Amino acid sequence: LLDVIRPGEPRITYGRVTVQDVPRIVSEHLVNGRIVEDRLIGRAD
């Protein structure tokens, strides 16, 4: 599991994350603000 927690935003939980997925999650979610839907397993508002 990988949780992304950013101030003022819902907590996003990714599952089935491999080492190969991490650069894409960092680029898409942390840099560009887009959720990686194919690894998303939960959202806590």
Paired residues of 44 in beta bridges: 11
Domain range enclosing 33: 2-44
Count of other CB atoms within 10 angstroms of residue 26: 13
23-45 residue pLDDT tens: 999 999 999 999 999 999 999 99
Domain count, the chain: 1
pLDDT band at 6 (very low <50, low <70, confident <90, very high): very high
* Confidence at residue 15, expressed as pLDDT on a 0 to 100 scale: 99
Cα 31-36-37 angle, rounded to 5 deg? 155
pTM for this structure?
0.92
